[in-house]
Amino acid sequence: MSEIKVTPLGAGQDVGRSCILVSMGGKNIMLDCGMHMGYHDDRKFPDFKFIAPQGPVTDMIDCLIISHFHLDHCGALPYFTEMFGYAGPIYMTHPTKAIAPILLEDFRKISVEKKGDSNFFTSQMIKDCMKKVIAVNLHQTVHVKHNLEIKAYYAGHVLGAAMFQVKVGNQSIVYTGDYNMTPDRHLGAAWIDKCRPDLLITESTYATTIRDSKRCRERDFLKKVHECVDRGGKVLIPVFALGRAQELCILLETYWERMNLQAPIYFAVGLTEKATNYYKMFITWTNQKIRKTFVQRNMFDFKHIRPFDKSFIDNPGPMVVFATPGMLHSGLSLIIFKKWAPVENNMLIMPGFCVQGTIGHKVLSGVKKLEFENKQIIDVKMAIEYMSFSAHADAKGIMQLIQYCEPKNVLLVHGEASKMVFLKEKIKQEFNLDCFMPANGESCFVQTDMKISIDVSVNLLKEEAVKYNSEPPNPLKERQIHGVLVIKDSSISLMDVDEACKEVGISRHIVRFTSNVQISDSSPINKTLELIYDQLLSYLQDKSQEYKIQLTESSLSIDSVLLSVERIDDKNKRVFVTWPNQDEEVGKIVLHVLKSMSNTQGTSYQPIELG
């Protein structure tokens, strides 16, 4: 048995700061490198000292994989490379590589300029970090190092999000990052083949949730927005720049057009144009409908949605505003919230998950009075609605993924502990699989079957087919192959004897075995050999296989088996039989014939029916 070691430095029984260390087959892989939106102290980044308390961190990590551009999955990347010193390979998809630096720069500005956070990376560090990134395509097998390869699968969730399969020799894991098993208005559903990994590491954000029908949710969302603007209220929808923002914009744009509504809809300045450019650039990552219609009509070219300016905050009358970020932890969405929260007529719609510690989480938990760092106190009187348009798999979707890829073990990350416990039991019950849920800093060991890959030479397969009349190789059917196992330069091959000798540079050495039978016979030695010869011919005449038998004055051979006779005294002789290991079957035939001829009383030969 061998094992896979998994240690979460973030997202272990928690949402945020995703960073999972995996050790298998002598290789160490880091999965994601995110920051925690709920903390502004040292806890915002994973504890990288865990990896290398003293020596250089690059020596400890063979590769780093980023699943998608959300900051809780890539927000600590520039810190890890430029400030902590990691210089090894970093892999992500092309859209992630294009979009991640923009979100990192936006967040850097907020953290440094507004919060005065000095322990933060600079703009130049972001640029230098992204130069180290190697972009991968979907379904492209990338050979990272000897025996280590990775492969990306479509994850839905956001533009460019990918699940990654990691293989080291015969051990394999699949890491989902964040994924969505349901297609939406702009992205397709996650997809993976039956790769049967030793371990599936899956997010479990909505481990206990089974969402209602998407159409019902959309209808409910549109109804609430319409009712609020009808009564003259303002609707704030906090979103991340790319993802749910586009989904909900398409939904509202279509509804406004159909209902001929006049209330203005706004989107944070600059983000709409950027989003449109990225969706154009990576159109193949969107769903089939958008790909088909993009030439005739750009789905992201909105008629009713206009850029927002901060001066619009105090405008009278109804309006709908999409503002970033999505958890109300900083930025424009928090500024607008502080202004609109005390007015009962207004509404806040939270369309996605909020990490503990953020304003969004507090508001959804029912907090009605909020105190901010500058002693500012806000009374929350606006209507608060939570409507899950979050692009994460729900409990049903997680079970679906397990069914698709058929893992041997499951490990849960990126979720709350209590919800993980429920899902863990469900997985054990439904699939009879071991399920793990380590906390941050806790190492988990998953036992796997030991498998060894062996190259089999073509010559050996041909020899086997002739010698044993065997069928062509069938991967679904076990068969026995006789050969020599050669280990050279960390590879293992099964060869025939001559190939093996040549490969390792030695002369062929044949091991021979000898047995003897005592017989009572006073005739000359050549007469004894003739008698044995006649008996062998008689025994073998009904056999389908042809044997090469040669008789001389002093010896007898059948294939590579040799017989010689030695006189003990006037009445007794001893017959020696020697054979090489590969002709053991022929040796047994000769001994059988001799013993059949031999009189147990030792006085004379007795005819015995052979067969």
The residues that are catalytic are: 203
Contact 522, 573 (CB under 8 A): no
Cα(319)–Cα(229) distance, rounded to whole angstroms? 7
Give the number of other CB atoms < 10 A from CB of residue 114: 11
Q: What angle do CA 349, 267, 72 make, to 5 degrees?
A: 65
Task: With beta carbons less than 8 A apart as the criterion, state whether 393 and 181 touch.
Answer: yes
Q: For residue 325, is the peptide bond before it cis, meaning its omega torsion is within 30 degrees of 0?
A: yes
Cα 399 → chain centroid: 16
Query: What are the backbone dihedrals phi and psi of residue 49, each rounded to the nearest 5 degrees, phi first?
Result: -65, -20
Structure tokens at 48: 């990288």
Rounded to the nearest 10 degrees, the angle between the axes of helix 123-131 and helix 94-109 is 170
Strand intervals (E) in 401-510? 409-413, 434-436, 444-448, 455-456, 484-488, 491-495
The candidate with the shortest Cα–Cα distance to 269, out of 218, 310, 234, is 310
Are the C-beta atoms of residues 560 and 586 closer than 8 Å to each other?
yes
d(C-alpha 539, C-alpha 541), whole Å: 6
d(CA 506, CA 469): 30
What residues does 154 pair with on adjacent strands? 162
Q: Is 607 exposed, middle or buried (0-12, 13-18, 19+ CB in 10 A)?
A: exposed
Round to whole Å and give the CA distance between 387 and 483: 64
Please identify which residue in the block is written with the tokens 């067969």: 611
CA distance 484 to 605: 43
- CB count within 10 Å of CB 521 equals 22
Coil vs helix vs strand at 286: strand
Query: How far apart are alpha carbons 148 and 141 in whole angstroms?
Result: 10
Burial class (CB in 10 A: 0-12, 13-18, 19+), 528: buried
Find the distance separating the first CA and the last CA of the chain, reported in whole Å: 47
3-class DSSP state of 153: strand
Enter the tokens of residue 164. Answer: 């990654």
Q: Is the dihedral of CA 26, 31, 37, 38 positive or negative?
A: negative
The β-bridge partners of 487 are: 492
